[in-house]
Each structure stands twice: as C-alpha cells, then as structure tokens.
C-alpha cells in the first residue's frame, strides 16, 4: 500500500548578466540555483501472517458399558452420540496451527453390552449300596441313608473390553454338590419264633395194701407244665427249649 505518494523535485538555475557601461562588455554573473526537493514515495509492504479461521467437526467416541442384566454380547444403545465443533485458526503463511477452541463438546455414544453369566445345572445320580445287617431278620430291608441327587453347576462369566466392545468368555467355574449314596440294609438275621408249649404230666400208680384189691384212690391230681420253645423258622430247626413250669404227676393209690 502507498502510504506517501512520490512527487518529483525541481531545480531552477538562474544566470544574470552585468553590462560594463564604459566598455560595453557583458559579463555573466554567478548562477543562482533554487531547488524544490522531491517527495519520496513510501510503499508499505505487509509482513503480517495470513490467518484463516474455520469451523471443524469433532467426532464422538462409542463408550461400551458392561451390563450383567443383559444376555451375553447383546447390545442396547443407551444414548446416541452427537458431533461437536471446534474453531481452528490456521497460519497460512507459516502453514501451522495457531489455536483451536472447542465451541461445542461432542456427546459420546453409550452402548450397554450384555455380560450376564450363563449358568447350567446337571443332576448327579446317586448309587444304592446294599449292606448286610445281622440285626434285621432275613427278608427284611430298611433304608439307613436316603439317597439324594447331587448337582453340578457350571457358570460362565464374560469380560467386556470397554475400548473395543468385544466380549470374551472367561474360563468356566464348576461347583459340585456331590450326590449322597442311598444305603439299604439287608437283613441276614435268622427269623426266630418263641412260643409256649404245654408239658403233659404222667400218672403214677402206687400199691396200697390197705385198700381192697384193684380199688383206686386219687391221691394227687396232676397238673400240666409249660416250656418256652425258640424255633429257627429260617432254618426250620430248634434253637432251644426251656421248662418254665414243671408238670405235677397224677398220683393214684391202687388197692392190693
């Protein structure tokens, strides 16, 4: 830009003459020089950097958030993302950034990702153990311990990479509640029967020469006795018998 317009200067030289009236000779006087100086033209040359201001978009990120209430790797968009803006001042002269200012912050996209554990159960059957028991009669059975099924529980948990949104299954965790075997007692004891049986009495005859021949007098009535009999019904044989009441013989005097 021209700040001061240039103007040319001017130099004026005047030569006067003097006449010698006596001799008629003309003599040139010393020149008189008058100068109007030139005005220099001032041209301003710009040195200020050229700056460009522009608006640029700011992208949003996707944030992944683990949610153990959702099935593994299922996804729910909790919040949609929105772009932001920034003001960028660029030095075009030096081709470099001067400054940038966020004018509208971006809003991240929020996605809930399922990490709900997967639990599977498997029943474990119990075994029945048959165990001889000498306190039970043969043919009898009794459950000593009631069998209970066990359970095997396998739990698979999941881990979310919050940076990439990738879901990875962790190593399964297995918990076992063992089955309780059923114990059945099998009787091996012989079946014994105890009963009371009568013992008959005998009739004892005693000679009595004070009585007429062949006449008879019952001196003592007889009475039955009893015995306790223990019988092995399994083997069909006698175990023991015990007289609990001895019989009393009938006594008869016979005349001779």
Indicate if 68 and 123 belong to the same structural domain.
no
Indicate if 102 and 128 belong to the same structural domain.
no
Q: For a pLDDT cut of 70, what percent of the chain falls above it?
A: 100
Indicate if 184 and 123 belong to the same structural domain.
yes
pLDDT of 46 over the 90 cut: no
Number of domains in the chain: 4
pTM beyond 0.75, yes or no: no
Indicate if 225 and 245 belong to the same structural domain.
yes
**The pLDDT value given to residue 147:** 97
Indicate if 196 and 162 belong to the same structural domain.
no
Confidence category of residue 1, pLDDT binned at 50, 70, 90: confident
| Mean per-residue pLDDT, 59-67 | 96
Question: Which residue among 171, 189, 207 closes a domain?
Answer: 189
**The pLDDT value given to residue 234:** 87
Confidence category of residue 228, pLDDT binned at 50, 70, 90: very high
Three-state SS for the chain is: CEEECCECCEEEEECCEEEECCCCEEEECCCEEEEECCECCEECCCCCCCEEEEEEEECCCEEEEEECCCCCCCEEEEECCECEEEEEEEECCCCEEEEEEEEECCECEEEEEECCCEEEEEEECCCEEEEEEEEEECCCEEEEECCECEEEEEEECEEECCCCCCEEECCCEEEEECCECEEEEEEEECCEEEEEEEECCCEEEEEECCCCCCCEEEEECCECEEEEEEEECCCCEEEEEEEEECCECEEEEEEC
Indicate if 209 and 160 belong to the same structural domain.
no
Confidence category of residue 149, pLDDT binned at 50, 70, 90: very high
pLDDT of 127 over the 90 cut: yes
Mean of pLDDT over the chain: 95
Indicate if 60 and 80 belong to the same structural domain.
yes
Confidence category of residue 153, pLDDT binned at 50, 70, 90: very high
Indicate if 62 and 108 belong to the same structural domain.
yes
| Mean per-residue pLDDT, 191-204 | 94
**The pLDDT value given to residue 139:** 86
Instruction: Please report, for the domain that includes residue 196, its CATH number.
Output: 2.20.230.10
Indicate if 185 and 199 belong to the same structural domain.
no
Confidence category of residue 30, pLDDT binned at 50, 70, 90: very high
Question: Which residue among 168, 189, 210 closes a domain?
Answer: 189
Indicate if 204 and 221 belong to the same structural domain.
yes
Question: Which residue among 189, 211, 240 closes a domain?
Answer: 189
Query: Which structural domain range is residue 25 located in?
Result: 2-43
| Mean per-residue pLDDT, 16-33 | 92
Indicate if 130 and 99 belong to the same structural domain.
no
Confidence category of residue 55, pLDDT binned at 50, 70, 90: very high
**The pLDDT value given to residue 141:** 95
């Amino acid at each position: 830009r021209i700040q001061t317009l240039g103007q040319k200067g001017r130099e004026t030289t005047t030569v006067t003459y003097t006449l010698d009236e006596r001799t008629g000779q003309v003599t040139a006087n010393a020149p008189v020089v008058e100068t109007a100086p030139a005005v220099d033209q001032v041209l301003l040359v710009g040195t200020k950097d050229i700056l460009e201001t522009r608006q640029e978009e700011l992208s949003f990120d996707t944030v992944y958030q683990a949610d153990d209430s959702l099935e593994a790797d299922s996804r729910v968009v909790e919040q949609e993302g929105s772009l932001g803006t920034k003001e960028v001042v660029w030095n075009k002269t030096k081709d470099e950034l001067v400054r940038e200012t966020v004018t509208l912050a971006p809003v991240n996209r929020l996605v809930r990702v399922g990490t709900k554990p997967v639990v599977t159960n498997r029943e474990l059957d119990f075994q029945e153990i048959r165990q001889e028991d000498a306190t039970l009669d043969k043919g009898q059975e009794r459950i000593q311990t009631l069998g209970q099924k066990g359970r095997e529980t396998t739990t698979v948990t999941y881990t979310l990479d919050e940076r990439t949104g990738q879901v990875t299954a962790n190593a399964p965790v297995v918990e076992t509640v063992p089955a309780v075997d059923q114990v059945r007692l099998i009787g091996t004891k012989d079946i014994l029967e105890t009963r009371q049986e009568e013992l008959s009495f005998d009739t004892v005859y005693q000679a009595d020469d004070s009585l007429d021949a062949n006449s008879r007098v019952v001196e003592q009535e007889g009475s039955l006795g009893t015995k306790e009999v223990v019988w092995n019904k399994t083997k069909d044989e006698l175990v023991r018998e015990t007289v609990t009441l001895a019989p009393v013989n009938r006594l008869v005097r016979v005349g001779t």
